[in-house]
Structure 1
């Protein structure tokens, strides 16, 4: 078993139907929901009738009012929290973070009750935020999308960042499962089902979905836009780890250790994939992030310097001037006065790593 799937789930005895309760949050991501449910549907029955023989699933909510997905499609819960029977798994599917209310107090209370009663909690996409708000992730490793890493830190500032994973598809830690979202919902559903069913049953569902082999939790999340593409999974993970540790840059030895490589192997592989050393690439990631923060926030230069791993504002200023040809304040003023079309070009310049 790999390091992410550090603690096995309790396996349900054969011929016991596994029950999944699915909680949809406002503006949930339809792909994450449909991918997970289709894996359940296709694994539940030997024939092609999608009968809930091996497992059953139900969409539950505070009321039976439809829940709107981020794409506009609405799903009506099948039963309410108070009416539902106990579930083996509670799956919370999130989506957009900044577009209105998230989980209400009744939803959080339902999650806490289910966790107390022994259900395994599954957070998909920003459903992880709701599990955190409900207080059921304490002491567990937590997987979030790289895209929402800083949102998570901002909303939960006391998070132990050593327990936060933003470079892998999903994490299984005892009875807590967290997933970065999107297509990875299929992979995490397959990983859960393999705890209870034989490989052929789960593989059949993957083949019908034209997925092929499932990705393991150790597989890297796709690299963020603006990071130079790397075909080797170890380098993809290395770049994501650099993004995740902006405030305290990992040493070459620490980075190599997380990737199960020697420092020399990592340097050689990184140079072949990106044309740069890991240290140089990491510095450019920090500078690019500082440039983005200067144009997208009103944070002080000193605050940005600290967040991006520079010793102080002067240190950031020296490195920034080398990279962008001007000090941070001048860069901010210049971008603030740009026309919309020019801002688009600037954002592309930053995202593409031009000049790096």
Structure 2
């Protein structure tokens, strides 16, 4: 299945078969980006013929599935009549609206994995893959935005297997993706396993994508973080966000970024003006400030959640940054966005 095929002998070349499962409230961008790259790379001209690869939308029934934007797409066939695929792609979207993946969907995912299909989870589709039990022993890429949702729903999953600082992850016969525009990058990475680079590049040019991302590219920054930072610094900050409760040491952070601690120190200082661990501490304090005004947790609980040894430790660092104690901050009703830190 992983042998790349040339463009000669199109009549005898076996199509790469994709089965696409749309979950309730799926993200339309993630679905359309993936399918459009398949469509454009599959044919020689501009006829959108499924020459190099074929795809179909499959579901438990033929009832239309609603995207998060309201558009509805009807499956082409049911799980029972779907046949065998090289890739089964599960596209998710909104987590807190609509029903979760049905048991029939989970069973189909399990059967596909047992049939040696490569299973692809896009956006929150990875939640369904995890529920289906097909991600044990594999690394899991998910959006930083849904990281804590995942940890809460799957507390038994080893957090060291979670990746929230990259756009997608290929781990043997499992591919997971943070969603959005990254679905185009995933589709390109898959097609490059099977067809000539020129066909994939043509499709990307038509879609006006000239900077297809590799799996180790960083996810975009959450709001409030410096947008024009070095890729290694972006990934470092996302790792800090990901490990607020159990902060990474400088050596562990550098190891994950495949850098020396000294290199990371220099690069981070040049890009942000701060040392990595100083920046990480400010992230944790900003998170504590948000929790003080958006939750009823005690200061001690917030301190633990944000990686401080106790309430006193949080209080000392909080006063340095905001000029008041955590309790005073909560009473004043100041939000993290409105507050002006007194120290950087």
Q: TM-score w.r.t. structure 2 length?
A: 0.93
SS at match of 1:59: strand
Question: 2:10 maps to what in 1?
Answer: none
Question: 1:11 maps to what in 2?
Answer: 3
- How far apart are 1:333 and its partner, in Å? 3.4
Q: Give unpaired runs (5+ residues) of structure 1.
A: 1-8, 339-345
Question: 1:62 maps to what in 2?
Answer: 60
Whether 1:170 and 2:168 are equivalent positions in the alignment is yes
Question: 1:229 maps to what in 2?
Answer: 227
Question: 2:132 maps to what in 1?
Answer: 134
Question: 2:272 maps to what in 1?
Answer: 274
Question: 1:204 maps to what in 2?
Answer: 202
Question: 2:314 maps to what in 1?
Answer: 316
Question: 2:338 maps to what in 1?
Answer: 349
SS at match of 1:203: helix
Question: 2:236 maps to what in 1?
Answer: 238
Counterpart of 1:49 (choices 47, 50, 67) is 47
Contact (CA 8 Å) 2:167, 2:215: kept in 1 or not? yes
Question: 2:154 maps to what in 1?
Answer: 156
SS at match of 2:337: helix
Alpha-carbon distance change, 228 to 256 in structure 1, aligned in 2, over 3 angstroms: same
- How far apart are 1:354 and its partner, in Å? 8.5
SS at match of 2:175: strand
Alpha-carbon distance change, 228 to 213 in structure 1, aligned in 2, over 3 angstroms: closer
Counterpart of 1:251 (choices 249, 252, 257) is 249
Contact (CA 8 Å) 1:228, 1:353: kept in 2 or not? no
- How far apart are 1:252 and its partner, in Å? 1.5
Counterparts of 2:314 and 2:130 in 1: how far apart (Å)? 34
Alpha-carbon distance change, 70 to 185 in structure 1, aligned in 2, over 3 angstroms: same
RMSD of aligned C-alpha atoms?
1.8
Counterpart of 2:193 (choices 192, 195, 216) is 195
- How far apart are 1:13 and its partner, in Å? 6.5
- How far apart are 1:262 and its partner, in Å? 1.9
Counterparts of 1:275 and 1:182 in 2: how far apart (Å)? 31
Counterparts of 1:302 and 1:230 in 2: how far apart (Å)? 35
Question: 1:6 maps to what in 2?
Answer: none
The alignment of Structure 1 onto Structure 2 pairs a total of residues equal to: 338
- How far apart are 1:324 and its partner, in Å? 1.9
Counterparts of 2:14 and 2:302 in 1: how far apart (Å)? 53
- How far apart are 1:256 and its partner, in Å? 1.7
Moved more, 146-155 or 255-264: 255-264
Counterparts of 1:87 and 1:303 in 2: how far apart (Å)? 48
Contact (CA 8 Å) 2:320, 2:342: kept in 1 or not? no
Moved more, 216-225 or 294-303: 294-303
Contact (CA 8 Å) 1:62, 1:81: kept in 2 or not? yes
- How far apart are 1:299 and its partner, in Å? 2.9
Counterparts of 1:269 and 1:349 in 2: how far apart (Å)? 30
